[in-house]
A and B are shown apart, each in its own frame.
Chain A
Amino acid sequence: MIVDLHLHIDDLPALGWKLEAAECVRRMDEAGIERGVVMTIVDAPEINPNALEFVADACAAYPGRLDAFARIHPWYGEQALALLERAFALGFKGLKLHPVSTLAHPAGRETLQLIRSAAEHSAPTLFHCGDEPLATPLTVSKAAAACPQATIILGHMGGYFHVDEAIEVAEAHENVVLETSAMPYPGKIGEAVARIGASRVLYASDGPACSPRIEVEKVRLAGLPPDAEHLVFSGNATRILDGVR
């Protein structure tokens, strides 16, 4: 079984992007992925005030195949917190934050409020974590340190140039989980498992634009022992998703 913790759906004419749930499921099927987590590109309530309903409807169309993370802009304060609560009422399984998109610092007061609110539901916060300012592993680590009760997932595990730093951050913070999407080095997945344990590394694709099939192949090329590969492909994601209240 494979669970993909990072897929996108949205309809953004300004970007020329129309990412549909059907395409996510098609690409999941192509890659042998049973369950996927979808989220928008935009940060609610910006651009699309009905983003939560858009995602919830997509998940409802594929019961058992798709779960949802709520991508929310922290600067909306109380409105953002209310959106997150509404998301959990709709059955969402986590929070997604993209500081490069929102310009909200990972350890800013508004961001920490959202992370802590998610943690009250035992829900994880997935951060975009790459090479850009506001999103490097050390920057996101400030949020992990401020919210030790929260599960902080470093999406892309540091991108191109910050992968070693992401592993170091995970070594320093036990509430940090590394997520493999788009990061281009199979060997670093094996290194991460060796250094922080297989229970804190999980597969994702950042699909459907990134190929879930290629991303699966990347994990396989890491050559993990079978029990570790099982955790990375599905065990860890299932434990996190099914633990959300």
Chain B
Amino acid sequence: MDDLGVDHAIVCPVRTRGYHLAASNEAIAEAVSASGGRLTGVARVDPLLGDDACAELERALEALGLRGLFLHPWEETFRIADGCVAPVVEVARQHRVPVIVAAGYPWLSEALQVGALARRFPDVTFIATNGLQLNISGLGQIDAELAIAENENLLIQTSGVYREDFIEGIARRFGAHRVLYASGYPIFDPRLEIRRVQWAAFAMPDEAAILGGNAAAVFALAEG
């Protein structure tokens, strides 16, 4: 972050070697606490655990002070539009926090699947990683645009996006407020990822919003 001039980051729990997302949530809370205000943490739960997932999210948001929900359908192996996801999103909705979805994974978090979830919760802000699509033919981009067009509450991150003109096009057609810079570290390289925004053809106010203003608004960072 210091090398690239990044002031603040949203940090998400990684998958642990065991199956202890609660411990990961606690590690995130500790990192946030030690960061001098530079990190905001979100909680990760496995919706397949049902009531236990809801309880863990409640604990993470209330006792640990985390500020959002992170769902990784690929690593926890659930379909993002499956019924099991709704209860944990409902908890997020009640706490008025955003939901980050690891998106673009085949069969589990494709663009229109994420869009279907977003449609069920119009008052929840969803943030999809990877521009909603991980396909190096660009085959997922039309569905990504449809999902964005159909759901005002669906935003995208820029991490790892194939084709920079996709990011530019989303900002141009749907508004720069729909796009958030993210590095996806450690999967992706922040030194490269930040260039996708800095070297794209954005007007200066849009670039500033994408690099930080939008995230500050979604995560209420000024209130943090």
**Given A130-B135, A209-B163, A209-B165, also A184-B188 (CB < 8 A):** yes
| Interface membership of B136, Cβ < 8 A | yes
Residue from A101, A184, A213 within 8 A of B160 (CB atoms): A184
Give CA–CA (A187, B190) in the complex, Å: 12
| Interface membership of B20, Cβ < 8 A | no
Name the distance in Å between B22's Cβ and chain A's nearest Cβ: 29
Contacting pair B199 A186 (CB below 8 A): no
Give CA–CA (A98, B106) in the complex, Å: 20
Give CA–CA (A130, B136) in the complex, Å: 6
Contact with B along A179-211 (1 / 0, CB 8 A): 000111111000000000000000000100111
Give CA–CA (A130, B164) in the complex, Å: 18
Contacts of B195 in A (CB 8 A): 213-214, 217
Contacting pair A100 B137 (CB below 8 A): yes
Contacts of B160 in A (CB 8 A): 160, 184
Contacting pair B136 A183 (CB below 8 A): yes
Q: List B194-220 residues whose CB lies under 8 Å from chain A.
A: 195-196, 199-200
| Interface membership of A93, Cβ < 8 A | no
| Interface membership of A20, Cβ < 8 A | no
Contacting pair B137 A128 (CB below 8 A): yes
| Interface membership of A131, Cβ < 8 A | yes
Give CA–CA (A132, B134) in the complex, Å: 11
Contacting pair A131 B136 (CB below 8 A): yes
The interface residues of chain B, by DSSP majority, are classed as loop
Contacts of A130 in B (CB 8 A): 135-137
Contacting pair A182 B196 (CB below 8 A): no
The interface residues of chain A, by DSSP majority, are classed as loop
Contacting pair A217 B136 (CB below 8 A): no
Residue from A100, A131, A183, A211 within 8 A of B164 (CB atoms): A211
Contacting pair B192 A186 (CB below 8 A): yes
Residue of B nearest to A41 (CB): B138
Contacts of B134 in A (CB 8 A): 131, 160-161
Contacting pair B188 A185 (CB below 8 A): yes
Residue of A nearest to B196 (CB): A214
Contacts of A183 in B (CB 8 A): 136
| Interface membership of A159, Cβ < 8 A | yes
Among B136, B192, B195, B196, find the residue whose CB has the most chain A CB atoms closer than 10 A: B136
| Interface membership of A221, Cβ < 8 A | yes
Q: List A58-75 residues whose CB lies under 8 Å from chain B.
A: none
**Given A186-B192, A221-B189, A221-B191, also A159-B164 (CB < 8 A):** no
Contacting pair A156 B136 (CB below 8 A): yes
Instruction: Supply 17 further A-B pairs (C-beta < 8 A) apart from A131-B134, A214-B164.
Output: A130-B137, A132-B135, A156-B136, A182-B162, A183-B136, A184-B160, A184-B192, A185-B188, A187-B189, A209-B163, A211-B164, A211-B199, A213-B199, A214-B196, A214-B199, A217-B192, A221-B189
